Each structure stands twice: as C-alpha cells, then as structure tokens.
Chains A and B, each alone.
Chain A
Amino acid sequence: MSQFTDWDILRNLLLAARWTVLLSLIAFAGGSIVGLLLTFMRISRRRSLIWVTRIYIEIFQGTPLLMQLFIAFFGLGLLGIDVSAWTAAALALTLFSSAFLSDIWRGCVESLPKGQWEASRCLGLNYLQTMRYIILPQALRIAIPPTVGFSVQIVKGTALASIIGFVELTKAGTMLNNATFEPFKVFALVALIYFLLCYPLSRASQYLEERLNVAGKRA
C-alpha cells in the first residue's frame, strides 16, 4: 500500500471537488431551466398544467433524492439508454432541483400583493403584459435570496452521486479512507471542503435577504 501524506489526501480531495462543483453547476443550470418552465406552468391558468406540475413537485419533494438517483440510473438503462453515473446524477439532480426551485419561485410570484394584479388590470394590461412588466420583475428580486439558498442544497445533494459510483468529493473521501484508514481525518477534511463551498452561498443568501428586507421597509 502506498503512503499518503496529508497533502496527498487534501490534493486528491480538492481535485475531486472540481467534479462536485461542475455537477452542482450543471444541476443548478438544468434545474433552473426546467424549474422556470414548471413555474410558468404552475402560474398559468390551465388547470391541467397546474395539476401536472403539482404532482411533479409532490413526487420529487416526497421521495428521497437517493431514490431519484437510483431510478434515473437504472430506469434509463431499461429504456435502452446507456447511462453513466455522471449522466444519471446530472439528470436526477436537475429534476430534483427543478421541483424545489419552481416551488420557491411560485411562492415568490404568489407573495406579491393582489393589488398589483388589480392595479395592472385597471390600467388595461392583459395577463402576459402584467406578468412581463409588473409581476416578474418584482418576483425576480425577492426570488434571488432563496434561490441562492437552495444552491446550497444542490451542492450537498451532489454528494449522493457518490453512491451510484460517480467520483466526486464524497466518493474520493471514501476511497481515500479505504486507502489510508484515517476516517476521522479524511471525512473531517471532506466536510471542511463542503463547508467552504456552501458557507459563502449561505451567507450570501442571508445577506441578500437582509438587504431586501431593508429595502422593502424603506419603500
């Protein structure tokens, strides 16, 4: 067995953390696109669309992310699509994120006072115009803090991709643990790297939230 110095451990973990970051970015981007689509469906006035999105959200919020990963991994295989752990993880995390993001965004749209809709209507704006010029610009502003906050959940969610064999930070941690038999040190370092990735996002979310509240009070 080769000898690992502390530096070797850290270096390998940091190299693997790049995949954590990449997977997070893809899941966030994919989740945003799908989530935006879902949000529009959810706030549309079509009953069928609303129901479809509600069921979608219920399913992804009501089952473990791990199950979603397994099903993406094995389910796609059944469809004859040869999936790598990477594809399955990206897909599952995208769908998972989209459900949560669309739920957050719908909440933002609905949190706007009813008077905004009524006033727009009095001005003669139609549904789409009201959305485009009145509702969305305001909703976007209040949506930023919780969206940044949710990105922390995505980063942490990518850790589960290790279970289907994708080598990111957590998987690298278990592999290094098997090689070094120093679980305390290895997993403390793994946790530390996640913390360094997530904490700034958490703080940014809090900061944006506070700034929004201050601005809201002044207005």
Chain B
Amino acid sequence: MSYQLNFGALLDYQDVLLDGLWMTVKLTLISTVLGILLGVLGAAARRHRNAALRHLSKAYVELIRNTPFIVQLFFVFFGLPAIGIKMTAIEAGVLALVINLGAYLTEIIRAGIDATPKGQLEAARTLGLSSRQIFIRIVLPPAFQRVYSAVVSQCIIVMLGSAVVSQISVPELTFAANFIQSRNFLSFESYLVAALFYLILAFLMRLAFNLIGARAFSRKEKTL
C-alpha cells in the first residue's frame, strides 16, 4: 500500500472538529428531550378514547417510519418554506430529528403501555383516579421503564442519524469532517476520526442513559 495515513494533519482543524462535535451533542440533547415528550404524547393519542386522535397518531407513526430521514429533512427544510413556514437550518434539523424520534418512540411507548396489567387500571379506578391521573401516574411510569432500553437504543439511532443534517449545512460533526476533507483532501482520515467520535458518543450516551435509568427506576427503600 503506497498511501500513508496522516492523522496528524487533522490537528490543525481540531477546533472545527470539536465545534462540530459540540453541535452534534446539542442537537442530540434537544431532540432526545423533545422526541421523548412527543413520543409520550403520541402514545397517549394512540390509546386515546377519541378515534380521530388514534388514527392521526397511527398515520404519523406509519408515515415517518416508512420514509427515509433524509427525505423528511429535505421536506422540512426545502418544502415547508415553500408554503410559508420559514426556519433556519438548525431549526429544521431539530424539527426533523424530533419528528422522526417521536414516531418511533410513540410505537415503543405504546407497546409498554399495552403491557400494563389490567388489575393496575382497576385498582386505580377503584381508588377514584381519573383517566388522566391513571395514565400519568399509574400507567406511564412503569410502561416507560418496561421499554426503557428500546427507548435508549432509538435515541442513539437518532443521534447517529443526525449526521444527515450536515446535508442542509448544519455545522455538526459530519459537516466538520466534510469541511476538513475539502480543505486538506484527507477524506479517509477525517471521516475515520468523525466515525470514532460517533462511536464514543454512542457509548457515552448509553452509559448516561443507564445511569439515569438506574437512578430513576431504583426500588431502594425510601426513608421517611
């Protein structure tokens, strides 16, 4: 092999790379929080008394899950402004990520809700709780716990998917790698380093989620 890998040259661009990494982290954080919220709402709608809400939620889930994220992104970024909804690239990126994550989480959380034992609902009803109170206080917390690992995996998938928002010039990690390789022509090295960063991010994300989960779902005795 005649080619000599040259990672050292990337050091000149470490600021660009780190800025991109930071943007990816920020995009992920905000989309994860909003996406989980949307997923909970979607799941609530999916099991709502109102049939129209149920159908709407189902259509949303099917539409998003059966089209590529990049097309969703282009539709939001190019298509929506054409009908008067204007936004910046970052806003469009976040919106697309949230919509995408929300659809998958709707389905995941719904499955968790469906696994609720009937007796839990009956006990709550007997105690006099309203439907909303039952959903929020009795059904949702254990349902979320039941499907937590699937939720975590989906959030990580969306973090990795955020690489695609580089295509609408959001200056995140992949965009940074693109930029660097366009300057120094070390494409292989640039992308390899970026990929490594993603790998580390995925690892750290799982770690963080596991720590949060262990804390949130702890069943250690509480003192008075």
- Residues of chain A touching chain B, judged by Cβ–Cβ distance below 8 Å, are 58-59, 61-68, 70-71, 74-75, 77-80, 152, 155-160, 162-163, 170, 173-174, 177, 182-184, 186-188, 190-191, 194-195, 198-199, 202
Contact A198 B67 (CB under 8 A): yes
Contact A187 B83 (CB under 8 A): no
- Residues of chain B touching chain A, judged by Cβ–Cβ distance below 8 Å, are 1-3, 62-63, 65-72, 74-75, 78-83, 156, 160-164, 166-167, 174, 177, 181, 187-188, 191-192, 194-195, 198-199, 202-203
Measured CB to CB, the nearest residue on chain B to A157 is B68
When chains A and B are docked, how far (Å) is the Cα of A81 from the Cα of B150? 39
When chains A and B are docked, how far (Å) is the Cα of A129 from the Cα of B86? 63
How many Å from the CB of B115 to the closest CB on chain A? 14
Residues from chain B with Cβ under 8 Å of A62 in the complex? 156, 160, 198-199, 202-203
- Return the contact of B67 from the options A65, A67, A80, A156 (Cβ within 8 A): A156
B contact face: mostly helix, strand, loop, or mixed:
helix
Give the interface centre of A67, A68, A78, A202 by most chain B CB atoms within 10 Å. Answer: A67
Given contacts A183-B79, A184-B83, contact A64 B69 (CB under 8 A): no
Residues from chain B with Cβ under 8 Å of A160 in the complex? 68, 70, 164
Residues from chain A with Cβ under 8 Å of B68 in the complex? 155-160, 170, 194
How many Å from the CB of A56 to the closest CB on chain B? 13
How many Å from the CB of B104 to the closest CB on chain A? 11
Contact A71 B82 (CB under 8 A): no
- Other than the given A63-B202, A183-B81, 4 more pairs (CB < 8 A) read A58-B199, A62-B199, A63-B198, A64-B163
